Amino acid sequence: MVEQARLRRFNEIAVPHLDAAYNLARWLTRNEHDAEDVVQEAYLRAFKFFDGYRGGDARAWILKIVRHTCFTWLARNRPAEVVARDDEEHEERTVAAQGAAPNDPETLLLQRLDSELLNRLIDKLSTPYREILVLREIEDLSYREIAEVLALPIGTVMSRLARAREKLQRAARGSVTPRLVK
């Protein structure tokens, strides 16, 4: 049975990455129901074009499709969110890749930064920063894999990642510091 073989192969290759796919969609849409719709659409699309999949990193392949589907979905349903991207890109190009240079009260900051607050702060970051943090810090993708998912050169991946971390740190400092000064 041809059909079963194809579906079975797809299930072996794509379904193990369903959690990663859903997680990315959930962070990008910020909503569980929308994330489910997006993932289902993405998987159906992936299945449709499965013959074009020539092996290689299956997770990167599926995440790329999920991401693409997310943006199409966001553009259709929440156009306001997608617009802000150009400014960020511009800003990013002017800031050279520099590792965050954290100073000493950092340790204190980290102790105050609980998981709930952290998630809230990341949720507020703009999409390019949010997604690169999800790919790196949650999914543990290498720079190369991230470059593939985002279709960017590795240099840009590094600078955007540095920028995302810096933005997050700044936001964390902003929201935690007032509490430090009692």
Partner 1 sequence: MTCKDTPDLVQAYADGELSGDQADALEAHLRDCADCTRLVEAQRGWQRTVRAGMTRFAAPDRLRARLAVALTEADEAIEAPPRQRAGWRPLAMAASLAFAVVASSGLTAYFTLPNEQDRMLDNVVSGHVRSLMANHLTDVPSSDQHTVKPWFHGRIDLAPPVDDLAPQGYKLVGGRLDYLDRQPAAALVYQRREHPINLFVVAAPTPAAGESKAGDGKSGDITSLSERGYNVLHWSAGGMAFWAVSDLDLGELKEFARLYQARSVAPPS
Smaller CB distance to partner 1: residue 11 or 77? 11
Computed on alpha carbons and rounded to an integer, the radius of gyration of the chain in Å comes to: 18
CA distance 3 to 12: 14
Tell me which residue of 148, 173, 138 sits closest to 56, measured CA to CA: 148
Q: In angstroms, give the least distance from the CB of 35 to partner 1.
A: 7
CA distance 133 to 100: 14
Q: In angstroms, give the least distance from the CB of 15 to partner 1.
A: 7
Q: In angstroms, give the least distance from the CB of 119 to partner 1.
A: 5
Smaller CB distance to partner 1: residue 87 or 108? 108
Burial class (CB within 10 angstroms; exposed 0-12, middle 13-18, buried 19+) of 167: buried
- In contact, 100 and 169? CB cutoff 8 Å: yes
Smaller CB distance to partner 1: residue 87 or 180? 180
**Chain residues in the site for partner 1 (CB under 8 A):** 1-4, 6-8, 10-11, 15, 18-19, 21-23, 26-27, 32, 35-36, 39-40, 43-44, 47-48, 97-104, 106-107, 110, 113-115, 118-119, 122, 133-134, 136-138, 142-143, 158, 161-162, 165, 168-169
Smaller CB distance to partner 1: residue 77 or 119? 119
Q: In angstroms, give the least distance from the CB of 83 to partner 1.
A: 26
CA distance 65 to 53: 12
